[in-house]
């Protein structure tokens, strides 16, 4: 069976040696030495001042909204995983969808600007598939209207834009370190910022609002454990090799798949160094997608419809929206299997089945 993704597992003995240390110290959580070590390495790697390890990428977005004092309208993308808009609603804010660009399925800055009202307090944009949003245009809009720019960077660990980590952009960027992502800690996530005051507040919010023995405010439990940090410390050194192998597989797909009128792919930003988080393709119609998916499944190959449905069509998310690009692409977008040790023979087989299904 071939799934859309497969979790990378590091050397088990190395993990066990970290576990031994946890047993020796009898400290399992609450900002232990492995959490601190992982955060320091991530800060170094990303070239940012603060990177706070939290329990997952969804709570990371919720804390980001909370810490920036966002309580009203958040302009966000309809083409993302549901965690993006769910977090907005969970924080009692109102998601306002701005449609995406048909080139890269990232939020369209012109649509963002058109959606601004006096109640807009933030933009929450996703770097879809590890591609980069138009960060310059969004930063300009943020400054012009005095609103915050938050990036859901769940897909983009390891990607660089303009010579720096894609995760370093925005007032806050969040990341997910879920087992399905390029870099993972089993479950986990991070909140990234260069602002000292914001980082200090995030640290309070992720730990019940504690300030020494007392409480600053109402917080949540968003901490992560020594076991999760240990997994991260084991996987982190292997990330360059994981990305190298994913790149090779992606380039093989690029050569073998019948791109043209019946099959498309995103336009990757020119100054982006990709992390090869996903291998998305766009079919001509939902019918063509469903036929291909069924043919792959008949061979025990399981691609995923990332991202389906368009979040703007979820009735409990928003009553009405006007996002034709997202609504259309969500019906036609499929992510093909991509993981560090996917055999090149399997890539050939998958490409052949896709070709046979649509040509």
Ligand X SMILES: *Cc1c(COP(=O)(O)O)cnc(C)c1O
Contact 116, 148 (CB under 8 A): no
Distances from the Cα of 230 to the Cαs of 13, 16, 33, 37, in angstroms?
12, 9, 10, 9
Helix 286-298 and helix 344-358, axial crossing angle in degrees, nearest 10: 140
Contacts of 67 (CB under 8 A, 6+ apart): 172, 198, 201, 202, 205
Nearest distance in Å: CB 157, ligand X: 11
Find the part of the chain contacting ligand X (CB under 6 A) among 32-40, 50-58, 100-108, 279-287: 50-58
Query: What is the 3 state secondary structure string of 238-303?
Result: HHHHHHHHHHHHHHHHHHHCCCECCEECCCCCCCEECCCCCEEEEECCHHHHHHHHHHHHHCCEEC
Closest residue by Cα to residue 64 from 168, 166, 187, 148: 148
Query: Applying CB under 6 A, which of residues 105, 150, 154, 289 lies at the interface with ligand X?
Result: 154
Is residue 57 part of the contact set for ligand X (CB under 6 A)?
yes
Out of 181, 223, 269, 293, which one is annotated catalytic? 181
For ligand X, the closer CB: 181 or 269:
181
Is residue 155 part of the contact set for ligand X (CB under 6 A)?
yes
**# chain residues binding ligand X, by CB under 6 A:** 14
Closest residue by Cα to residue 46 from 199, 212, 143, 163: 163
Contact 32, 233 (CB under 8 A): no
Residues 107-126 that bind ligand X (CB under 6 A): 126
For ligand X, the closer CB: 263 or 303:
303
Nearest distance in Å: CB 174, ligand X: 8
Is residue 80 part of the contact set for ligand X (CB under 6 A)?
yes
Nearest distance in Å: CB 106, ligand X: 11
Query: Applying CB under 6 A, which of residues 2, 38, 42, 83 lies at the interface with ligand X?
Result: 83
Find the part of the chain contacting ligand X (CB under 6 A) among 26-34, 147-155, 199-207, 333-341: 147-155
Is residue 84 part of the contact set for ligand X (CB under 6 A)?
yes
Find the part of the chain contacting ligand X (CB under 6 A) among 68-76, 77-85, 216-224, 325-333: 77-85
Closest residue by Cα to residue 282 from 358, 356, 345: 358
Is residue 130 part of the contact set for ligand X (CB under 6 A)?
no
Is residue 198 part of the contact set for ligand X (CB under 6 A)?
no
Strand ranges inside 49-128, DSSP E: 50-54, 73-76, 94-97, 120-126
181 is catalytic: yes
Give the active site residues. 181
The contact set with ligand X (CB under 6 A) reads 56-58, 80-81, 83-84, 126, 152, 154-155, 176, 178, 189
């Amino acid at each position: 069976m071939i799934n859309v993704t497969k979790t990378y597992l590091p050397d088990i003995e190395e993990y066990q040696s970290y576990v031994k240390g946890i047993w020796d110290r009898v400290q399992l959580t609450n900002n232990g030495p492995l959490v601190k070590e992982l955060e320091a390495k991530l800060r170094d790697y990303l070239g940012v001042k603060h990177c706070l390890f939290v329990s997952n990428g969804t709570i990371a977005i919720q804390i980001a909204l909370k810490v920036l004092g966002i309580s009203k309208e958040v302009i966000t993308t309809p083409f993302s995983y549901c965690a993006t808009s769910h977090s907005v609603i969970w924080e009692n804010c109102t998601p306002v969808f701005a449609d995406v660009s048909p080139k890269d399925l990232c939020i369209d800055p012109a649509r963002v600007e058109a959606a601004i009202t006096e109640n807009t307090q933030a933009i929450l944009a996703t770097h879809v598939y590890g591609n980069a949003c138009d960060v310059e245009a969004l930063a300009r809009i943020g400054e012009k209207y005095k609103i915050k720019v938050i990036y859901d960077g769940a897909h983009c660990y390891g990607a660089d834009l303009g010579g720096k980590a894609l995760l370093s952009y925005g007032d806050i960027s969040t990341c997910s370190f879920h087992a399905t992502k390029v870099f993972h800690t089993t479950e986990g996530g991070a909140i990234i910022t260069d602002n000292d005051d914001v980082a200090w507040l995030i640290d309070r919010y992720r730990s019940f609002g504690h300030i020494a023995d007392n409480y600053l405010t109402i917080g949540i439990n968003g901490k992560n454990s020594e076991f999760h940090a240990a997994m991260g410390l084991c996987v982190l050194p292997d990330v360059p090799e994981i990305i190298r192998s994913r790149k090779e597989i992606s380039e093989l797909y690029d050569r073998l798949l019948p791109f043209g009128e019946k099959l498309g792919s995103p336009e990757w930003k020119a100054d982006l160094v990709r992390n090869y988080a996903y291998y998305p393709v766009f079919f001509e119609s939902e019918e063509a997608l469903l036929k291909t998916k069924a043919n792959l499944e008949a061979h025990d190959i399981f691609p995923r419809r990332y991202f389906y449905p368009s979040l703007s069509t979820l009735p409990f998310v928003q009553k009405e929206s006007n996002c034709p690009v997202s609504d259309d692409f969500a019906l036609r977008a499929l992510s093909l299997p991509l993981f560090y040790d996917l055999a090149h023979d399997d890539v050939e087989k998958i490409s052949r089945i896709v070709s046979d299904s649509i040509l």
